[in-house]
């Protein structure tokens, strides 16, 4: 079909627009996308019609252009869909791992880990001598008298540092006391 060079774009557009929109819509199943593809194909043809062969099949050319746009669109949708599926699979895996972790650990285990972390951080905040005396007494079960002899200080000083560490830990663990009573009766 030969398009009359005197035909204006509006007439050309209105003559062929709807049939190519229906064609594109059949494949892309989205009216605005089909409209955009058809508009782009018709406009491209119109702007470049003088560069094309005079005996060219205009409708075939536009149809091929719309077809290519549909293919590109569908391939793009397919890539997005694959990405979404992979992302969803990764998210599902992450959720499954969280569920398994929570199911495999008892509340007491999780709670104990939290408390140990707070104790560790609290001890790190103490002055070095207070921390050392507390650890010797509580973790190594050394009596106060032995610690006093080992460090060359009075037993009252040992009591002071142990009380200081205990007060600091009580303050840091104050929110956990009710739970401690619940889990560790």
pLDDT tens figures, 73-131:
999 999 999 888 888 888 888 887 777 766 766 666 666 777 788 888 988 999 999 99
Question: What's the pLDDT tens digit per position in 137-178?
Answer: 988 999 999 999 999 999 999 999 999 998 998 888 887 766
Q: Comparing C-alpha atoms, which of 137, 131, 138, 136 is closest to residue 165? A: 131
43-63 residue pLDDT tens: 999 999 999 898 889 999 999
Count of H-run helices and E-run strands, the chain:
8, 0
Give residue 169's pLDDT.
85
Angle at which helix 107-125 crosses helix 155-172, to 10 degrees, equals: 130
Report pTM.
0.48
Cβ atoms of residues 162 and 133 within 8 Å: yes
Task: Tell me the two tokens of residue 173.
Answer: 């663990």
pLDDT tens for 17-31 read 999 999 999 999 999
Question: What is the per-residue pLDDT for 185?
Answer: 46
What does the pLDDT read at residue 84? 86
Cα distances (Å, whole numbers) of residue 146 to 21, 89, 134, 139, 165? 93, 60, 13, 14, 18
Reading the block at residue 103, the tokens are 């199911």
pLDDT grade, residue 183 (50/70/90)?
low
Write down the pLDDT at residue 107. 60
When pLDDT is cut at 50, 70 and 90, the band that residue 65 belongs to is very high
| pLDDT higher than 70, residue 1 | no
* pLDDT attached to residue 117: 85
């Amino acid at each position: 079909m030969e398009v009359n060079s005197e035909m204006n774009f509006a007439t050309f557009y209105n003559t062929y627009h709807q049939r190519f929109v229906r064609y594109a819509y059949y494949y892309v199943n989205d009216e605005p996308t089909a409209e955009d593809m058809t508009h782009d194909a018709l406009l491209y043809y119109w702007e470049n019609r003088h560069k094309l062969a005079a005996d060219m099949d205009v409708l075939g050319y536009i149809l091929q252009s719309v077809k290519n746009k549909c293919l590109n669109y569908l391939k793009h949708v397919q890539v997005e869909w694959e990405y979404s599926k992979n992302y969803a699979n990764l998210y599902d895996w992450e959720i499954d791992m969280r569920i398994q972790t929570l199911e495999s650990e008892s509340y007491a285990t999780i709670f104990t880990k939290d408390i140990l972390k707070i104790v560790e951080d609290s001890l790190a905040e103490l002055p070095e001598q207070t921390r050392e005396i507390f650890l010797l007494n509580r973790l190594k079960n050394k009596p106060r008298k032995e610690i006093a002899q080992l460090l060359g200080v009075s037993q009252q000083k040992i009591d002071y540092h142990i009380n200081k560490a205990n007060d600091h830990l009580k303050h840091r663990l104050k929110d956990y006391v009710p739970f401690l009573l619940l889990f560790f009766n």
